[in-house]
Amino acid sequence: MRSRAWLASAVLALLLVPALPAAPVPGPPLGGAPLGIRLEALPLADVAQPVEAMLPRPAGSLVHTTFLYGPHVVPQGWDLDRYALALPFETGFVTKLAFRLQDAATGEVPTNLQVHIHHALWFGAATGTLSPPFIFGTGEERTQIDLASRAAAAPHGPLYGIPFMQDQAQVLVLMLHNKQTVPRVVTILLDVEFVYGTAPQVADARRCRDPLRALPVDDIDGCVAGRDVHGVRGGLWGDIFDVPRQPQGDGVFTYPLDGIYNRYGPADYGLPVPTYYGFFTPRLLNASFLVPEDATLVFAQGHLHPNGMATIVANLGPDGSGCDADLDGDGLPGTTLFRSDKLDRNPAAWPYSEDFQMGVTKPGFRAPLRAGDRLAQFGLYANREVATYQAMTFAAIQMDPAQAPGPRGPGCARSDFAPRVVDAPGMDATATVPNRAWDGPELALCDVPGSPACNAPVPPPAPGLDSPPAVAIAQFAYAPGDANLAGALGLPPVVHAGRGLTFVNVDTAAVVRHTVTSCAWPCNGAYTANYPRPDGVFDSDRLGNLDVLDGGSIPPDPHDDPLWGTPADLPPGFYSYFCRLHPTMRGAFEVVP
């Protein structure tokens, strides 16, 4: 019955937009009804190819190489998950890696306001378990991992690397988010530093050149023959939630202590919620991580969305130990291990900016972990001025089981949990540092010193259509109510108090999701790295969400329905809104008595 309702509203809404210019339908041909979806319209798997072949080399050889994914055709507006398979590694260790995105034709790097990697999660194949091992992950902040610098901080210690076996099965889950109304063809580049050989082979090697093989002098970039190499194990956990705006609050929302808000209503999952090693667990999203074995934590990073402030991870000790008390006096349970701060390129834009990176642990950071320890995660978001929908807090860690700490003493002595900096004793080990140099042009901002105002003053607009049956979200426009449209379609429609305004995402037929998210009137400025911002009055969620890995379903269930209505209790006045996925889209309506 519900699906018939939204389809009828869509037909009525389409009657209002006959003058919209035609736009090419993104992706493969679509069949069926006007709003039908064919599975071949969804993203396919891709196979990674090395820019240059990884030739067999002697153990201990260190090389820099690049893997290329794509080219990917990212249709206009798409932000769906896709997969890349089978990175052709030899046996050895990855000691550095970084993702890059570039235009397939020009080689130019698009900005986060155009198209970006929303997330990239790299896993190995599962072996006798439901949890494939986590290798590495990043998002729009483009975090890089550098285990070589961690080893350099302790020159007499081991090298660290992510271990690989030749032809090891792997999968990369990634989302490319095209915010533009034109298709983009892009490639993803993965730069890696790689050490050949197993740990025993590297340790036993005495040279990196085989005299029986005729290799050019520049065949390798370094030699670590004879070094002790430790393979690290990865872990990833986190959650997705809404951050309500609270103008009268303290300005900081702390997940999960302030509750977990989502489309199913507020929930308090308690603290902690144990999970297990890996990512695909019985409960994918969790506030805490159960350490699988004794190990030393050598690298850690956090992940937030643009309105985030910090991801903090604390060790609560084993369940029932009592070590979840605030042992270090920072106001959070347990002993804080690290605080991954969101670092804005222009600090004046903090905390809301898409031009940011996340802090990572210092090169000399080390923290003792023991089997059964619970690592709790706290995500901090600013929420006095802005709401955040589908907010994330994730933590990714790399652990060295070969450097197991000694037995823990009785009780909950902070010294048994606290991190340290091996090359700078006494330094605050919980503070993080930038993970990469800033590159590319600084993104445009508004309402910060030296930048224009976000909003342009406008007189109250003339009334638009009275009580339209629906607003169609079609071809990246809201009709009626989009100021970029001509005539009555460009004026805010009139809604009478006590009634809602219905929206239907017609672009679902092109596998494009949209939102209807309120922003402070008039919300008419250019899209910048810190604007527009949700003001917390209403949000539709992603209408027509077909991405099953991102909470969607085929066909859409009620929470992914292309149909949505504004709250019926909005007081009289003008309301403006935008699409969180395509922020250049803007619309407005007026509520009258």
Q: Which of 432, 419, 214, 141 is nearest to 297 (CA)?
A: 419
How many residues in the chain? 593
Predicted confidence band of residue 263 (pLDDT cuts 50, 70, 90): very low
Residue 35: what pLDDT? Answer: 27
* Paired strand residues for 573: 591
Query: Where would I find the beta strands (DSSP E) of 275-359?
Result: 288-290, 295-304, 308-315, 335-344, 356-358
Run of H or E residues at 9: helix 2-14
- Mean pLDDT over all residues of the chain? 83
Predicted confidence band of residue 41 (pLDDT cuts 50, 70, 90): very low
CA distances from 85 to 29, 135, 167, 218 (A): 25, 14, 11, 29
More confident call, 560 vs 281: 560
Q: Which of 199-208, 278-287, 526-535, 561-570 has the lowest mean pLDDT?
A: 278-287
Tens digits of per-residue pLDDT, 359-417? Answer: 999 999 999 999 999 999 999 999 999 999 989 999 999 999 999 999 998 889 999 99
Report how far residue 97's alpha carbon sits from residue 145's, in angstroms, rounded to the nearest whole number.
6
Tens digits of per-residue pLDDT, 124-143? Answer: 765 554 456 888 889 999 99
Residue 283: what pLDDT? Answer: 36
Question: 3-class DSSP state for residue 559?
Answer: helix
Report how far residue 441's alpha carbon sits from residue 222's, in angstroms, rounded to the nearest whole number.
33
Q: Which of 541, 530, 238 is nearest to 386 (CA)?
A: 530
Q: Are 349 and 343 in contact (CB under 8 A)?
A: no
Query: Where would I find the beta strands (DSSP E) of 203-334?
Result: 222-223, 229-231, 233-243, 252-255, 288-290, 295-304, 308-315
Residue 189: what pLDDT? Answer: 87
Tens digits of per-residue pLDDT, 85-101? Answer: 656 678 999 999 999 99
Predicted confidence band of residue 261 (pLDDT cuts 50, 70, 90): low
Q: Which of 581, 113, 187, 87 is nearest to 356 (CA)?
A: 113
Average confidence (pLDDT) over 288-302: 94
Run of H or E residues at 148: helix 147-152
Q: Which of 47-51, 195-199, 208-212, 252-256 has the lowest mean pLDDT?
A: 47-51
Report how far residue 489's alpha carbon sits from residue 343's, in angstroms, rounded to the nearest whole number.
41
Predicted confidence band of residue 180 (pLDDT cuts 50, 70, 90): very high
Residue 549: what pLDDT? Answer: 63
User: β-strand 502-505 against 471-474: which pairing, if any?
Assistant: parallel
CA distances from 332 to 263, 377, 379 (A): 27, 10, 12
Q: Angle at the Cα of 79 (from 261 to 508), degrees rounded to 5? A: 90
Q: Can you give 376-394 as a three-state secondary structure string?
A: EEEEEEECCCCCEEEEEEE
Report how far residue 162's alpha carbon sits from residue 122's, in angstroms, rounded to the nearest whole number.
12
Q: Is 372 left (phi over 0), alpha (psi -120 to 50) or beta?
A: left
Q: How far is CA 375 from the centre of its chain?
A: 20
Run of H or E residues at 590: strand 586-592
Report how far residue 496's alpha carbon sits from residue 570's, in angstroms, rounded to the nearest whole number.
10
Q: Which of 38-52, 97-111, 351-365, 371-385 has the lowest mean pLDDT?
A: 38-52
Residue 489: what pLDDT? Answer: 94
Residue 514: what pLDDT? Answer: 95
Run of H or E residues at 143: none
Structure tokens at 414: 């902070």
Omega into 318 within 30° of 0, i.e. cis? no
Q: Are 223 and 118 in contact (CB under 8 A)?
A: no
